[in-house]
Amino acid sequence: MGFLRVVARIMGRISTFRSYQLVLLLAAALAVVAFYYFGSERQNFSSTTKRIKQTQASHNTNRNDADLTVDTRLSHPDEPKEKADSEAAYQHYHVLMMFTKVDKSRSLQDKFRVAMLSMVKHGHFLEGEVLVLHFVSDQASQELGKRMLLELFLDTTFKYEVVFHDVVALTQKLFPIVEAMQKHFSAGSGAYYSDAIFFLSVAMHHIMPESLTRIVQLDLDLKYRTNIRDLFQEFHRFPPGAVIGITREMQPVYRHTFWQYRKENPQTRVGEPPPDGLPGFNSGVMLLDLGAMRSSALYNKLLEPSNVAKLADQYRFRGHLGDQDFFTMIGMEHPELFYSLACGWNRQLCTWWRDHGYGDIFQLYYRCDGPVYIYHGNCNTPIPDD
């Protein structure tokens, strides 16, 4: 009996010691959870990743097409959940960027970093407003983009959403619409299927859902020096009939491209420098009024293959810059379709044509008076530091 009491006492102490260990382990686990979920007031990599995973499956009636591979909402970290969930109350500002083959190019990654960091630095939106970032991307670039955005938008002070569109799905939709014009405005000969995506802005009003009425398309090689929200205010300055806001080309590109037409029409304004000439457009920054594009009988008539061919023949035009060439050509004939953005909204920095035969007149095209809101480092030109 005495032996049994000793054994029972020992087992009781062991049981008590194990219970004590379990309590300590449980307390430690709770402390870790509290540290990661309640101990920090600002957004970090872990919390953002968790938010992405929680919201990727969210339903969005405005973006449910097959080309949409990801619908990610990233809310401001200090925003109450119930407020973030009331999506219908928000006003959305949509921007779109091409984001293909970025995973294979360190240069494109560096440009994207500059663009996004400067956008975050200067960006400010009012309560109840959301910046929606659309990226047309391949799968590998999409995965890279999601990782980069976690870092680049870490310090944002405004609410935003990120939407990735599958480049293959969009190309399939675009090709039947733009196939006929590709032979006039593509780098190669003939209409290449893969080139269709470079005409996205031309036919975006047919591709995006009708609920999306305005969008700004931007190149990756930009640096923002002002609030991106201010650019959207330019939509309100469109004159009647205008469907696209765009800046002029700041090199004598189209003086060169229209050389035959200019030779046959020596008094023409086509290709001449500003303010009285028609220097053509640059597509690095574009305001697309999709609603106006859908309702414009003139614009949609100009998309018809026979009319594209007619204008290309009339102006002896053969380009290689995709949508930019198309907009430039129809702008020569129908300038009323375009609202001319101030050059400071797309301050192009490329000087290639200055050293290739046009040094004597280059400055007439390149000059840009007034404040610079967005730098455009086209043709890999370095962008000045702030």
Calpha distance 90→83 (Å, rounded): 10
CA of residue 333 relative to chain centroid, distance: 29
**pLDDT tens-digit readout, 34-67:** 433 333 333 333 333 333 333 333 333 333 443 4
Q: What is the domain partition of the chain in residue ranges?
A: 92-376
**pLDDT tens-digit readout, 267-309:** 999 999 999 999 999 999 999 999 999 999 999 999 999 999 9
- Lowest average pLDDT, out of 41-55, 140-154, 209-223, goes to 41-55
- Kindly indicate the confidence band of residue 319, based on its pLDDT and cuts at 50, 70 and 90: confident
Q: Would you state the pLDDT for residue 193?
A: 58
* DSSP H stretches of helix in 208-319: 228-232, 253-257, 259-264, 290-295, 297-302, 305-314
**Cα atoms found within 13 Å of the Cα of residue 35, Cβ hemisphere only:** 6
Q: Would you state the pLDDT for residue 268?
A: 98
Q: What are the Cα distances from residue 381, in Å, to 74, 107, 108, 368, 370? A: 32, 12, 13, 17, 21
Q: Would you state the pLDDT for residue 181?
A: 87
Calpha distance 34→214 (Å, rounded): 43
The H-or-E segment that residue 72 falls in is strand 68-74
Q: Would you state the pLDDT for residue 48?
A: 37
Helix-helix angle 167-185:323-333, to 10 degrees? 50
Whether 78 has a pLDDT exceeding 50, the answer reads: no
Calpha distance 217→92 (Å, rounded): 15
Q: Would you state the pLDDT for residue 86?
A: 54
Q: Beta strand pairing status for 222-224 and 374-376?
A: antiparallel
Nearest to 133 by CA among 207, 215, 198, 213: 215
Assigned CATH for 92-376: 3.90.550.10
Q: Beta strand pairing status for 129-137 and 160-166?
A: parallel
From edge to edge, which strands make up the β-sheet containing 68-74? 68-74, 160-166, 129-137, 91-99, 214-218, 281-289, 244-248, 338-340
Percent of the chain past pLDDT 90, that is, above it, reads 71
Q: Would you state the pLDDT for residue 194?
A: 62
Percent of the chain past pLDDT 70, that is, above it, reads 75
Whether 257 has a pLDDT exceeding 90, the answer reads: yes
Burial of 268 (0-12, 13-18, 19+ CB in 10 A): middle
**pLDDT tens-digit readout, 89-127:** 789 999 999 999 999 999 999 999 999 999 999 999 999
- Average of per-residue pLDDT values in the chain: 83
At residue 217, φ and ψ (nearest 5 deg) are -100, 130
